[in-house]
Amino acid sequence: MLKAVIFDLDGVITDTAHLHFLAWRSVAQEMGITFDEAFNEQLKGISRMDSLLRILRHGGKEGMFSDKQCLALASKKNERYVQSLASLTQQSVLPGIGKVLAEIRAANVKIGLASVSLNAPKILHALGIHQAFDYCVDASRIVCSKPDPEIFLTACAGLHVHPEQAIGIEDAVAGVEAINAAGMLSVGIGADLKHAGLQLHSTRELTWKCLTDFWASRSE
Ligand code: BG6
Ligand code: MG
């Protein structure tokens, strides 16, 4: 029986995935590193410091900065990213998300959040939907980032459900890998997520009917 649905935040609940991209791109450009949205796919679901290391490797600058310099670069990116969050309002929740959250709640199924973003609590408040979640896990509560299953397993434990009783929803390759590794059913939003149990093009398609049909098809 389906007992919980656990959501990623950036790129699933709201379009902050694009804001992360813009902030990293501006910091990278100042170091003479360019990257496009295709490369940015590799940064989705990846922690702040791991993202920086991937960008430095991509630009051929791996190992050229001290730990202190890396921390300063990550802080600079976060300052720009947080500035861009000022544009978030209740209207910034992606299409279909408000409705599906209400449908899940009405069905008495628990709702969790599994985001590796340290900014997750701030974003949920800016969107005005923090009360929709029964349990939230962010980077401050875990050791291993996605694709490790730790964050989804921690969310299941906090919701008091077994991973086999839960669906996870993600927009990142690493995130879908984390859900699958946790032993949950995975829903991928967007392109190139063929390893998801169910792949949807957009959050508009994410309805309670779609989730329950998917669940029924896997429990037969
Ligand atoms: C994830 C994003 O949700 O959070 C990543 O997909 C981001 O792109 C990560 O690097 C960490 O976010 P923050 O807000 O702690 O820098
Ligand atoms: Mg995401």
Work out the average pLDDT over 78-88.
96
Contact 198, 217 (CB under 8 A): no
Instruction: Kindly tell me if the per-residue pLDDT of 190 is higher than 90.
Output: yes
Rounded Cα–Cα distance for residues 76 and 63 (Å): 19
Q: What is the pLDDT of residue 137?
A: 95
Residues 6+ apart with CB under 8 A from 25: 34, 35, 40
Percent of the chain exceeding pLDDT 90 equals: 94
Q: Could you tell me the CA-to-CA distances from 207 to 3, 75, 203 in Å, in that order?
A: 16, 37, 8
Whole-complex ipTM: 0.98
User: Integer distance in angstroms from the first to the last C-alpha of the chain?
Assistant: 12
- Quick check: is 10 catalytic? yes
Mutate to test the pocket of ligand 1, among 10, 14, 50, 189 (most ligand atoms within 8 A of CB): 10
Q: Identify the residue whose tokens are 């590794």.
A: 181
Mean pLDDT value across residues 22-44: 94
Residue whose CB lies within 8 A of the most ligand 1 atoms, among 6, 12, 117, for a mutation test: 117
CA of 42 to the centre of ligand 1 (A): 12
219: pLDDT strictly greater than 80: no
Predicted pLDDT of residue 191: 85
13 pLDDT exceeds 90?
Answer: yes
At residue 29, does pLDDT exceed 80?
yes
Number of H helices, E strands in the chain: 9, 6
Q: Residue 68: pLDDT band by 50, 70, 90 thresholds?
A: very high
Q: What share of the chain in percent tops pLDDT 70?
A: 100
Distance, CA of 170 to CA of 20 (rounded, Å) = 16
Ligand nearest to the CA of 55: 1
Say how many Å lie between the CA of residue 138 and the centre of ligand 2: 12
Q: Is 15 a catalytic residue?
A: no
Long-range contacts of 157-164 (CB under 8 A, 24+ apart): 158/112, 159/3, 159/4, 159/6, 159/110, 159/112, 159/134, 159/135, 161/3, 161/4, 161/110, 162/3
pLDDT digits (tens, 9 = 90+) for 108-164: 999 999 999 999 999 999 999 999 999 999 888 899 989 999 999 999 999 999 999
Give the Cα separation of 172 and 16 in Å (integer).
13
Residue ranges around ligand 1 (CB below 6 Å)? 9-10, 17, 20, 43-48, 51, 78, 115-119, 139, 172
* pLDDT for position 169: 98
Strands across the sheet containing 166-170 = 135-137, 110-114, 4-7, 166-170, 185-189, 198-200
